[in-house]
Structure 1
Amino acid sequence: MRLGILTSGGDCAGLNAVIRAVTLRAVHGYGFEVYGLHEATHGLLQRPVAATLLSPDSVKGILHQGGTILRTTNRGNPFAYPGPDGSTRDRSQEIVEGYRELGLDALIGVGGDGSLAILRRLARQGGWNLVGIPKTIDNDLGHTEQSVGFSSAVTVATEALDRLHVTAASHNRVMVLEVMGRDAGHIALTAGIAGGADVILIPEIQHAMDKVCAKIEERRRSGRNFSLVVVAESVRSDGVTRTYTDAHGQSRYGGIGQAIAQEIAGCTGAETRVTVLGHVQRGGSPVPLDRVIASAFGVAAVDLVAQKRFDRVVGWRARQVIDVPLDEACAAFKAVDPGDPLVRTARGLGIAFGD
């Protein structure tokens, strides 16, 4: 059996732990050959295919490393691949042929909902045998309680809140922390509770600025002259999300933290400061939970290949690895439920959502 593995979409902590687990289980458990594809499906576009034969020796020492030794990309949809003149064309068949050229019998794709959906479409076109592993700091992929990278991103955001708490108290300031999460508020909610935030703003719960300001004023009256506000990047202000266009013409979230801070300063007169964590949440060494989940996912994915159970994605539920149909996982976007136990916990602690 010749097995391929690729990491696709945005990077996160824990990807190397997945690569290590897949390699060790495949080689030691089944005697498979494992090829790591470079830069996701871009490696399959190269001729010869850009891939590296992985071995237990080649994955030594990577368990604790951030990023991915295979590299990754979140640009270049193979069905609408951008050209130098700005035009797009379908290069999916080239990728299908790259899989065949490398002589792969199966592929393990590590990605979020968008990446896994594209890989599944390629697999159906090319007759590939595909197994998916969920990774996204957003933790918004359906049918899994935990995706690789989420816990590490939450840890970074929590550490930031711990540091901001001290300087906020020292200067009687309102500190606004903008975190990632795309269209879901899981990072903001979890880190907000762990880091002792006073206000958590997430896209799933509509807020009103007068209520946010009322919370800050309430703290002032009680003698607490500082506050911590966590804002998910996709939160709306004045009914719209704050975005900008990057150098590649893609729309990105950005600016909501500054907008919220200005509104707070205007309605409370408080001195405000903004911290935008951005890609700091993606980098660094994975926390223990991400290493464990990545390892469990890698082993389980190889076992699915050995059992010839394809078109599946692994997941984490009630401290067990489960697997579900890949199309169901990609279709089931997991936002924060306003009635979620963590939302109730936050409210019970006196944390405001501005609603």
Structure 2
Amino acid sequence: MCPCSCACLCLCSIRRVSISNLQREIEKQTGYRSSRRRRSESQYDYEVYHSLEEIQSWMFEMNRTHSHLVDMFSVGKSYEGRRLYVLQVGKRNRHQKKAVWIDCGVHAREWIGPAFCQWFVKEAISSYQHDSVMRRLLNQLNFYVMPVFNVDGYDFSWTTDRFWRKTRSKNHKFHCRGVDANRNWKVKWCDEGASSHPCDDTYCGPFPESEPEVKAVAKFLRRHRKRVKAYISIHAYAQMLLYPYSYKYATIPNFNCVESAAHNAVTALYSAYGVRYRYGPASTTLYVSSGSSIDWAYRNGIPYAFAFELRDTGHFGFLLPESLINPTCTETMRAVKAIASGLLKKCETDKDRFPYI
């Protein structure tokens, strides 16, 4: 298994040059070039990548201007003291609505993730009046959207190291910093597919939920476990839709329901631009990994737990051009809507049988 990325080939195995001028591609995305389009006072540009400061300012603005559909709150603070903000998107018309959790930016360098979370909120709000499917979803569900899970790492990927992956917590015995936030969950923690060495990109941490970001989200989801019916985590890259188990080769109890939901999602995604996604259990479709968020969500009573690996399959990798933000987010939006729509229908095959793990 490649230890250096979420779903990629190790650099040592690459035999050809995919990007001839890596620095130029990085500068295109971080705004050092004058040609980069910036948001104006009145228009937020969803087709460029945004810094953490810009994203959080946007969240405040969405909360201010769309209070009938958006509510902003914090689930805690990061290791470096930054607020962990979440947007609740949905019509305030009933209590105890079913909910869908969506997080992005777990791995700092996967910038297309935060771009999608912003795109989702924008599309949900702007299409509420004219899209009957979205209106039904927002009337009957709440979406908890966390645009940047790993706020410290994401900020670091903008200011210092574009390819940074982990959190930014300090280790008392090593100079290496950070933990893989997708190996730090309390489910088969630090087993196969995770590293116990602090300098590795897949470092599991000193103990489960050692990272305040993971602990804060886990606490929120545990508190709302009776209402949260789907957990969706947005990653890159590989063009896959994954579901449990990650840590073992086994079939989940409600396999037929989850498999059907995944099939419907990738079919909806394909309908936009003909982009094909593989789907299936994470362990067999990608690789075995322990301490993952989808396994944790599933163990804690969330029957539909998915991890998307967005575009592409390796040519641009983590440096997905801004020109591909629109099509990537457009097709992913269709997939997420398909998953959410499925929650409103009763699955007759397995009837969501439990226990899960």
- TM-score (structure 2 length as normaliser): 0.28
Larger of the two Rg values belongs to structure: 1
Greater RCO (Cα-Cα under 8 Å, separation 6 or more): 1
Query: TM-score of the superposition, structure 1-length normalised?
Result: 0.29
